[in-house]
Amino acid sequence: MRAPYAVERTRGRKYPEPAHPYRDDFQRDRDRIIHARAFRRLENKTQVFTRRYSDHFRNRLTHTLEVSQISRTIARVLGLNEELVEALALVHDIGHPPFGHAGEQALDRLMRAHGGCFDHNLHALRIVEDFELRYAAFAGLNLTFEVREGIIKHSRDWKAAEHPALAEYALDQRPPLEAQLIDLTDEIAYNTADLDDGYEAKVLSVEQIRAGVPAFERLYEQAEKPFPSAPEKLKFNEALKAFLNRMVTDLIESTQRRLHEAGVRSCDDVRRWPERLAAFSPEVDADRRAAKQFLYQNLYYSDELSPEKVDGERVITDLFAFWMRDPSALPPSYQRKAEDETLARVVCDYIAGMTDTYILMLHEKHIAGS
């Protein structure tokens, strides 16, 4: 049974469609996202580690599935709309370019030189509203208002005066709880997964993690007590599982407490509240920040990963400059887009949609092989 503050029904779609006989609107959105070409491409987009290390590490797609699993569990306990939460979790990273955050930083830097910017959430909105071509009646996927709103608002608040193009998304209000969850479950997923992948890649050691993440150290000590002779990897797994469970449980309990204290009785109450109501407790939020800081200092900007980050930025920079010099080398569909939008935006859109493997192939063809 859904809680009174859950999203019960959609405000609608841009293009009205008849109701489906056995799927509600958010189930249809979920299915459209899963069947989208941009969703399939996530399989070959870097999360943290490229396939040079191993096929065992997370990519954008497997990360997305982990966020979806965590999000649905929390949504069920809180009585939220699980179908909406699942759709938002599945679409939350669909706008990421190749080479992970290095690719996003490179595109943003290049676009700022042309008076624009690159934001993966805004790009995701462009994907679902325009780039996906699956229906004769309209461009894009024609997703519900709540999913499109959640794409841009799940991780940040926007000022209406600074972003008039987003005015239809109620920028003066908070997003519903279903969207608020996604940014937090995203962090739960990548904080724990990146510790796991960093350890598996031997970039991070157990001793290093225990020294740098106090919450993990406490949980590792607890895991050792019943399994003193277990292999290090299995004790690591037990501690990491407990770390994830601690964050999930705290997010549920803290959000329930905040909802009760705020006296929230409806989704409109959630939207009108001056701050987001989905949140960790101060203690666990400090643990989250410590883990995130540790990962930035010891993994994301480590010497081991730096060469690939530099290579990814170079590949994107080279190809961006190539198509800016010679737009006739763009595919015909993107040449047509350049008639209505700036060339820099069109080139950025083209690159952002690529997988790691495809952009490397094009770099070999147009740059390295020339």
Domain assignments of the chain as residue spans, ordered by start: 25-306, 307-368
pLDDT in tens, 71-97: 999 999 999 999 999 999 999 999 999
Tokens of 253: 């309990």
Residue 246 carries which side chain, given as an amino acid letter?
R
- Residue 264: which residues within 8 A CB-CB, separation 6 or more? 5, 270, 273, 277
> What is the Cα–Cα distance from 146 to 152, expressed in whole angstroms?
10
Count other C-beta atoms under 10 Å from residue 246's C-beta.
Answer: 17
pLDDT < 70: residue spans in the chain:
51-54, 369-370
Return the amino acid letter for 224: E
User: What's the one-letter identity of residue 92?
Assistant: H
Q: How many other C-beta atoms are found inside a 10 Å radius of the C-beta of residue 268?
A: 12
CATH architecture of the domain with residue range 25-306: Orthogonal Bundle (1.10)
Reading the block at residue 194, the tokens are 């990146």
Please report, for residues 36, 61, 141, 282, the alpha-carbon distance to residue 32 in angstroms, rounded to integers and kept in the order given. Answer: 6, 16, 7, 37
Give 163's DSSP letter.
Answer: -
* 8 Å CB contact between 64 and 42: yes
Residues 143-189: tens digit of each pLDDT: 999 999 999 999 999 988 889 999 999 999 999 999 999 999 999 99
